[in-house]
Structure 1
Amino acid sequence: MDSFNRGQLLLVGLPRSGTTWIAKLIDSNPDIVYRHEPDTEFRMNVPVIINSDDTGCEQLISEYCGNIFNRKGVRVCGKQPFFKKAYFNLFTEQLFRISVLVAKLSSRVGISSKIIEVINSKNKKAKLFWKSIESAGRVGAILKAVPDIKVIYVVRSPYGQIASVIDGEARQKFTDTGSSADDYGFFEYLLTTKLARDRGLTMEHVVSMTKLQRLALRWLLHNEHALTEIDKSPHGAIIIRYEDVCVNPEKEAKDIFVFLGLQWYPQTKEFLSNKTDEDKYYSVFKSPINSMEKWKEKLTAEDVEVIDQVIKGTKSASLYGVV
């Protein structure tokens, strides 16, 4: 559907920043056509960090975003829970759900299968929405390349995000078996950002840091770059704190919907009320408050001080009262 090439919606943030929960909150709207992390399965052919003075990426990004609707892999279209959609009828909804089940079963034996998704073309309210944890460093370039896109950038406190990464690596929840603190190849990209250049940071500085300091620096450089780029396109993007959504989910959700031009339906309120205290790492039904404060069980006061020393004096840090 060519109409989905215009007016796209994007939610982006660092891994372990609550993006999946907030994305599903938005997906609970009956008019949303959701694509879950398409740029993780179908890679963009552009750098993971793009600075404002970089050239040659806009056309590639525009073409990529223009094809997101057609990404119908099971990982991209099959992220549960599913919600009632206004653009499905009873038959097309069941066809979609059955095709997801078949695709998941097929993938277990190495067979790739596309999802069958028949959208009522007469429904003019349907909006394409995708979520990314790969493109935080590309936000500015995406806003330039797709001028009518609306972007929500999610920031989670450094303590919560770092503690969750450490926990996930200890529990082997990630496909990458190495520690993100030791991903020096990615730090090479981060060192090209304005803040890193202003501070004169080099790979020697990075290598000399402890793992906790490197995780804090990764949080800082990635978020600071995104916030700086968003400042240049204030009308196409908003910044939200994960913690604010946890504390007052319905109010924050309604504000997000207003920005995205979405109507409020009871289905979203039902999703927000459907939570448990289960400790499933990727669950979207955990208690938001418990998830928000879980880092306090993982990090010591000394750990917090180490993180604060790395991030202080920046816009990202000021979001959490660190000056």
Structure 2
Amino acid sequence: MSEPESRLVVIAGSGRSGTTFLAKLFDSSPEVLYRHEPDSVLRRPEIPFHPDAGDVEAHADAMRDYLGALMAANQARCAATTPTFPKSFRSPAGNWLHRALVYGSKLPPWGKDPALRVPDCLRMPPPVTVIKTVDSLCRLRLMARARPDARFLHIVRHPCAVAASVAEGHRLGLMKGGAFLDAVFAMPEAAGYPFDKADIAARSPAEQVAFKWMVQNDKTHAEMAGGDSYRLVSYERLCVTLRAELTALFAHAGVAGNPQTDRFLDRLEQTRSAGRRYFSVVRNPRSGLFKWRQRLPAGTVAAIEAMVQHSAVGRLCLAAAAEAERAVDASAGCS
């Protein structure tokens, strides 16, 4: 698949910020071929994860090649996410076969094979390829230099919600690692806040996660804001005004509205629960949206919200989340 044959959309954000949910909304379109975190499978550590201006020019060609590889990555980890959706670029038989391969890839003994590939079963090039990433959030400027025709959706969620979800993932044994403060403080941008490494290291794990969230999201937004290819997305606003927000995001990305996506939105809105599994995307968007208030101590919430007042993205995110919370409360009061 050559680059001009498929438009590229990159969905990026910090872990537990709603990237997978937004990506699945896009995957519901018959036009979209979806790649789930292919940079976690095809790793190119020689391309900087936190590039500066000089790195952008030096690594543009390598990033262009890398993006081509990511768009073509059909390892099961990248190409076998559920639920599945029929695609216009597959024949009816191809759609049936692809669905069978996706669900079959999750069965023993194949489910544990990291090298397993799921053929795309294409009859024509897909109009749009969507790549979702949490590892390459700070690489967006480099990606934009390599592919000026691409579109970028940068999704942010209230940092307390992110911190609470990360903590829950650790408790369930589904997430590993910490805030990686050495790597965060190696970024020049970390020096732009009134916190040093000793201060952040002495804070709670939730506050450390919030600091990492702040530095990385601020860097990306500062580098990308103002460009026609870039859109900052509030997870909370998306969940509360789902259809209007998704219509605008589809238009930005050059994806047409379609009945298949409408049916998927109906399914989500008619679901009563917040999802039975930690990584579930089939859930009512509003259900449990602000459950983090019960999961984090009030003092931790106050400390995180005070911290991210030093952040441009933090202030925008807190305002959008507060607006969404008022809408949810008002809706609950009317029901």
Normalising by structure 2, we get a TM-score of 0.86
CA contact (8 A) 2:193 2:310 kept: no
State the partner residue of 1:318: 315
* Distance in 1 between residues matched to 2:144 and 2:66, nearest whole Å: 13
Task: State the 1:264 CA deviation.
Answer: 0.5
Instruction: Give the letter for the 2:319 counterpart.
Output: G
Answer with 193-202 or 205-214: which moved more.
193-202
* Distance in 1 between residues matched to 2:252 and 2:277, nearest whole Å: 31
State the partner residue of 2:277: 280
Gaps of 5+ in 1: none
Alignment of 1:128-207 (within 5 A): 128-174=129-175, 176=176, 178=177, 180-181=178-179, 183=180, 187-199=181-193, 202-207=196-201
Q: Name the CA shift for 1:150/1:94 in 2 (closer, same or farther; >3 Å).
A: same
Instruction: Give the letter for the 2:40 counterpart.
Output: T
Instruction: Give the letter for the 2:74 counterpart.
Output: K
Task: State the 1:27 CA deviation.
Answer: 0.8
Instruction: Give the letter for the 1:268 counterpart.
Output: T
Task: State the 1:109 CA deviation.
Answer: 6.0
Alignment partner of 1:238: what SS? strand
Task: State the 1:79 CA deviation.
Answer: 0.3
State the partner residue of 2:123: 120
* Distance in 1 between residues matched to 2:27 and 2:221, nearest whole Å: 24
* Distance in 2 between residues matched to 1:92 and 1:6, nearest whole Å: 19
Select the residue among 262, 270, 278 that pairs with 1:269: 262
Alignment partner of 2:282: what SS? coil
- Any idea what the Cα deviations from partners look like across 1:184-212, whole Å, max 9, x if unmatched? xxx23322445312237553343233323
State the partner residue of 1:244: 237
* Distance in 2 between residues matched to 1:109 and 1:9, nearest whole Å: 29
Answer with 96-105 or 240-249: which moved more.
96-105
- Any idea what the Cα deviations from partners look like across 1:84-136, whole Å, max 9, x if unmatched? 11111111112212332443334246483321222222x6x621111111111
CA contact (8 A) 1:32 1:85 kept: yes
* Distance in 1 between residues matched to 2:292 and 2:200, nearest whole Å: 24
* Distance in 1 between residues matched to 2:218 and 2:112, nearest whole Å: 42
* Distance in 1 between residues matched to 2:52 and 2:182, nearest whole Å: 13
* Distance in 2 between residues matched to 1:226 and 1:242, nearest whole Å: 17
Q: What is the total number of aligned residue pairs between the two structures?
A: 312
Alignment partner of 1:240: what SS? strand
Does the alignment pair 1:82 with 2:84?
A: yes
Alignment partner of 2:310: what SS? coil
Q: Name the CA shift for 1:211/1:111 in 2 (closer, same or farther; >3 Å).
A: closer
Does the alignment pair 1:211 with 2:213?
A: no
* Distance in 1 between residues matched to 2:111 and 2:76, nearest whole Å: 11
- Any idea what the Cα deviations from partners look like across 1:22-53, whole Å, max 9, x if unmatched? 10101111100111110111113323222234
* Distance in 1 between residues matched to 2:9 and 2:236, nearest whole Å: 21
State the partner residue of 1:64: 66
Task: State the 1:250 CA deviation.
Answer: 0.5
Task: State the 1:313 CA deviation.
Answer: 2.6
* Distance in 2 between residues matched to 1:170 and 1:155, nearest whole Å: 23
* Distance in 2 between residues matched to 1:220 and 1:109, nearest whole Å: 35
* Distance in 1 between residues matched to 2:165 and 2:16, nearest whole Å: 6
Alignment partner of 2:23: what SS? helix
Q: Name the CA shift for 1:210/1:239 in 2 (closer, same or farther; >3 Å).
A: same
Alignment partner of 2:116: what SS? coil
Task: State the 1:2 CA deviation.
Answer: 0.7
* Distance in 1 between residues matched to 2:98 and 2:307, nearest whole Å: 47
CA contact (8 A) 1:4 1:69 kept: no
Instruction: Give the letter for the 1:44 counterpart.
Output: R
* Distance in 2 between residues matched to 1:49 and 1:211, nearest whole Å: 22
Answer with 128-137 or 102-111: which moved more.
102-111
Instruction: Give the letter for the 2:123 counterpart.
Output: N
Normalising by structure 1, we get a TM-score of 0.89
* Distance in 2 between residues matched to 1:238 and 1:116, nearest whole Å: 31
Alignment partner of 2:48: what SS? coil
CA contact (8 A) 2:42 2:70 kept: no
* Identity %, equivalent residues: 25
* Distance in 1 between residues matched to 2:64 and 2:237, nearest whole Å: 32
* Distance in 1 between residues matched to 2:65 and 2:5, nearest whole Å: 9
* Distance in 1 between residues matched to 2:213 and 2:220, nearest whole Å: 11
CA contact (8 A) 2:105 2:118 kept: yes
* Distance in 1 between residues matched to 2:298 and 2:218, nearest whole Å: 24
State the partner residue of 1:302: 299
* Distance in 1 between residues matched to 2:263 and 2:152, nearest whole Å: 25
Instruction: Give the letter for the 1:155 counterpart.
Output: V
Answer with 216-225 or 291-300: which moved more.
291-300
